[in-house]
Structure formats: C-alpha cells, structure tokens
Structure 1
C-alpha cells in the first residue's frame, strides 16, 4: 500500500475535475488518489469513471460541506499521510516527496502546508494560506505573504521551513492517525475556517504544524464560493466566533469574545456604509447563530488550551494604523 493519499472533495465540480485532476495524476505517482463526492448532481461521477479510471471515487449520501464531507469520506482511507486538496488546485512536479520526507524525518510534525501560489497570477502568493498561517490575539488570521487583502509577490523571501500556526485547507497534509485522534474537522462549521480550528486544536494538544517551501501548488481560490457571496461572510464571521469559544485559554475567553463582537459590529457598519446590506445582515445572522450555539461550542473546549497561540497582539492595528502591510515588517 502507498504511504500517502491525495484526497479531493468534490461537489458539482466536473469542470474543475477535468481541468486540475490531470496534474494531480501526472505528478502524484507516490500516492493513491481519491475523490470524495458530496452527492453531485452534475456529471462528476460519470466523468470520473470514464476519464479518470485510476482515481478511487468515494460517494457521500448528501452535500455535507467541507467539514463533514471530508470526515465521512476519510473513514475508509487508511494511508499513513493524507493530502487534502481543493478541486481548484494545480500541483507541480515533485510536490509530494518533500512532504513525505518531512513527515518521515520529523515524527512530531502532524500537519504540513506547501507553498500556495495564485493560479491566476503565478508570481504571487495566493490568499488562502500563502507561505503559512498565523493568528493574532483576537483570532484574526494572516499569512506569510498575505495580510488581509495585501498579497505579496513570491521573491523567495519566505523560502524557509518553519513551524506555523495553521495550514490552509486548500492543500493540507496531515497524518491520518492525528486526524482521527482530533476527530477530524468540526462538522458544525460546514465550511470556512474549519482548518484553522483543526490546527488550533492540534496546537492545544502539542502537535506541530509546519510549512514546506519545496512543495509548490497553485490555487484558483473562490471557485466554489466567491468572496462576494453573503453566505461566505456569514460562515466566516460565525465560524470565527465558534473557533474562539472552543480554543481560547479560559482566562481570556470572555474579554476577547466581547472585543471581537464589538469589532464585528464595526465591520457590519462598514458593510452598510458601502451599500452591502446583505453582508451586514450576514454578520448579524452569524452572531445570532453564535449565541444559539454558545453552550454547545463551550462544551467542546480542551481543558488545557494554551495561552501562547499568538505572536501579534492585533494585526488590525499593525496593518491599518502602523501600516505594516507585509509579514516581514511585523517583526
């Protein structure tokens, strides 16, 4: 049996499969390739069976979203290492071997992210992950190579393999044993930020997540849910509050949650000021759902949540007030 499984989650993405699966098959000789299908209603299954017969198809009984979709599909996959890859990712030659080498060499490394560049602008990092993710004290995510919407050109400035706080779900490598120990993604998230929550839970359990610069992929981004979609706003705001409730150290939980909700209020006002009423409404709905599910998420907390989860107190102050808009200027 091969050591690594490349696993792609699909829902009505037949065009993406046709476009990006060929590179995965061409450059993944070391792996068994799986597609988990979330009950697609297009021709995905037919195309997979006819055009990509070497790919193993796992069919879910419904559209379970990203989190449950992977959780269900991965139950039957037994390879030691998992590469969870978005359907809009183009991989490159030798993208797997550096990851395998790192896992084999470093037994305490549980998750790894490759360098993620922009498929549409291949000289630049891509929004979802770039050269590895971090969060500030208030749980706002940022990356080496991307802070908010400021995306850097890849000039080799982050070509170092370092520990990171979170790895992007666009292309996430994880030990199968660790995935199962952590009970996979939180299915209440449905989609968005579930990978940060998974990495934070791993961090609270003293697992290490690393960035591997020798593995390179290109990500389209927004192929399944565009940034202009109010549903994406809703999921991002709601899931961020879910994540904080679950993972913050106890003595910081109430004050940080309160301040985050205040900041969310300013975000809603901003949406209103630029005419994005549906997005402002999404922020309100996110908060209402957060209140409804607070007790449920609080019960998921780890008794030993770590206090050293951040290196920057406020990325908002650094970015908007101090104008430190690239990662290298933060330190």
Structure 2
C-alpha cells in the first residue's frame, strides 16, 4: 500500500490591473515557491500589456481576462466561479512570497475544517523589519467598527521582533495574501461586489464569523507586501472607498453601531482632516457619506442573533489618540471578547 498522500487541491489566484511592472518583479518568485500549485492570473482589462507578457514569458500561468475593470470584489467573484478547487490563495500582484510561505497555512486549514480564511505574517517591502500596513499580524475591529492589526494601529507600525510568531484566531484576515476555503467562500456568497475594493475582506470575515466559521493568522508563514501599488495610501480615492465601504458594512450589521454614531465619528474625521489641509481627503469622506445613503437601499440590515469573536469592546480611537496607546500589547487583552448581536 502506498503512503503517498495526494496534495490538496489549491489554486494561487493573482488579481491584476495594469500591474505589468509588478508582475515582472514578483511573479518569478511566486512561481519559484508555488510548490507546483496552479497559478492563475485574473486580469481586470489591463491596457499595459500585462496579459501578453505573462502568456509570452510564463506559459504555465493560466489567464482569466475580464472585459472591464470589475475591481477586487467582482473581479475575484467572477474568476473563482470558474476555478474548481478546495482552496484559493488570493494574492495581490505586489506581494513577494518566501520559501515555505504556503505550507504552514495550508496545513493549518487542513487540520481544522472550521477555518474559512487565514493570512500569514505580512511585512513591509519598503521596510522589511517592520510590519505592513495591510494586515500586519492579523486584523481586529473595535466596537465602533474601526479596523486595526497586531503590529499596526492606524499609522503606528511596529517592528517585527518575533512578538507575533504565533498562530491564533483573529477577526479579519488581509486580502493582500488570503488563503480561503472554497466551500466557505461560495457559501458566504463571495465578496460584496458593491464594495468594488477595500474592506471587502473585512466584510467577508464578519459574515464568516456570523456563520460560525473561524479566521486565523499563521505567524510561521511570511510574505512581503509593497502596499499601495495600485492605489497609493495618500490617494483620496482610497480614503473614499474605505469610509464608504466601512459605512456599508456596518449598515448591514446594525447591531455593531448605528448610523447616527458612525456619521458623527466620520464627520469628526472629515473636519480633522480638512483642518490638516487635506481638502481632497475631506471631500472624499463627505462624498463617501453621500454615496452611502444612495447605496444603502441595496441592503437589508441583518438582525439574526450571532456572536462575533475577537472584537475589541473599547474604542481604539480613544486608546490611540487620547490615551496614546501605539502598540497592540498596550491594549487591554480582557477587552477582546465576543460581541453578542441580537
């Protein structure tokens, strides 16, 4: 009798939009460390020759080409319906993978069938000793719906000293490098396509928790993220999408925070940014509120009873800006608990 184990069915799916320079930089390393798993490029109607380059230089990479830029959410949803596998590894085109980056995450998912999503340790490409803004060592959310990470609270980013080399449950996993159980993804209905981009993975993780799935961080897997390659962190469009999509996510789950309180907090942010001289970002927040009220009719607020784990039941705004707590370890560990929603 053979002891050979059939490797799990997995596809590495890279979403791309006019990322030719990024593909040239990061795709060769991905193929080197892909462990023989299929790599699929999903292209959102790029005009920079991305698809032709990949087809010419890397014929082993399959390409799914959309006829328009569907964004992250719909771009992935349409493609993943065509990919039949047990696991998807969703990867930004600006991520540098490392040797053995995939094995520990995949083993974790195989050993625990209740895990829907998992992310690795994500470090900064520009500052490799520091965590990356997008995901760091696993994401959390406070009682008012503000996301933050182990290793990154707002714009305060920690140095990687091995303090997050553990494996543990988290609230949300980063879409920059996201291992997803296909069954869970499709059961949950995939990403919310109205989001286009930003917050779509946090929304997916929230819905996964509500359905009883788990979300994990695997600190023994490491990748490096360039960050802001498609949309820079200072781009007002990013500000707009973050504020609009956070508002939509919280509206769908009204038991987290009501519209009046969220509006109050967002307008404080808008006026603060305005008086800092960032008028385009302030207008982006204002426009996000206008479009939220236009779009909320597409949703019916969810009122089913459930409990969300790993919610920070204090205000991260107060802790960071008033109490000056800049490190994750400075937050009260007892405040991370279940938020019961009825």
- With normalisation by structure 1, the TM-score equals 0.95
Q: 1:294-309 residue pairs with structure 2 within 5 A? A: 294-297=296-299, 299=300, 301=302, 303-306=304-307
Distance 1:276 1:75 in 2: 41
| Contact kept in structure 2, 1:30 and 1:96, CA below 8 Å | no
Shift of 1:58: 0.6
Superposed displacement of residue 29, structure 1:
1.7
Q: 1:300 to 1:19 in 2, by over 3 A?
A: farther
Is the 2:123–2:129 Cα contact (8 Å) retained in structure 1?
A: yes
Change (3 A) 1:47 1:322: same
- What is the SS of the residue equivalent to 2:128? strand
Out of 197, 200, 225, which is 2:203 matched to?
Answer: 197
Q: Distance in 1 between matches of 2:141 and 2:254?
A: 12
Looking at structure 2, the residues matched to 93 and 307 of structure 1 have their Cα atoms a distance apart, in angstroms, of 34
**Separation in 2 of the partners of 1:2 and 1:43?**
33
| Residue number in structure 2 paired with 1:234 | 240
SS of alignment partner, residue 142 of structure 1: strand
1:72-111 Cα distance to aligned partner (Å, 9 max, x none)? 1111111111110000000000111111111111111111
Which residue does 2:27 correspond to in 1?
21
Give the C-alpha shift of residue 305 in structure 1: 4.3
1:195 Cα shift?
A: 0.4
Q: Is the 8 A contact 2:171 2:309 kept in 1?
A: no
Gaps of 5+ in 1: none
RMSD: 1.4
Q: CA offsets, 1:263-315, max 9 Å, x none?
A: 11111111221222111111111111111122322x16362343656123200
Equivalent residue number for residue 286 of structure 1:
288
Mapping for residues 199-238 of structure 1, pairs under 5 Å: 199-238=205-244
**Counterpart for residue 267 of structure 2:** 265
**Residues 1:244 and 2:250 are matched in the alignment:** yes
Given candidates 117, 128, 151, the residue that maps to 1:145 is: 151
Aligned to 1:161: 167
Q: Is 2:325 aligned against 1:319?
A: no
Q: Is the 8 A contact 1:248 1:307 kept in 2?
A: no
1:5-44 CA distance string (max 9 Å, x none): 1100001111100100011100012411000001111111
Distance 1:309 1:124, change over 3 A: closer
* Equivalenced residues, count: 326
| Residues 118, 178 of structure 2: 8 Å contact kept | yes
* Structure 1 counterpart of 2:178: 172
Report if aligned partners of 1:120, 1:220 keep a CA contact under 8 Å in 2.
Answer: yes
Q: CA deviation at 1:176?
A: 0.6
Instruction: Give the distance between the partners of 1:43 and 1:288, measured in 2 at CA.
Output: 36
For residue 208 of structure 2, give the secondary structure of its aligned residue in structure 1.
helix
**Mapped contact 1:2–1:32 kept (Cα < 8 A):** no
Aligned-pair distance for 1:2? 5.5
TM-score (norm 2): 0.92
Structure 2 CA distance for partners of 1:36 and 1:296, relative to 1, 3 Å:
same
Q: Deviations over 1:144-174 (max 9, x none)?
A: 0000000000001111101000000101111
Q: Structure 1's 264 and 275: CA in aligned 2 closer, same or farther, altered over 3 A?
A: same
| 3-state DSSP of counterpart to 1:261 | helix
Say which is worse superposed, 62-71 or 310-319, in terms of deviation.
310-319
CA offsets per residue over residues 24-74 of structure 1, 9 Å max, x none? 100012411000001111111110111111111111121000100000111
1:85-124 correspondence runs (5 A): 85-124=91-130
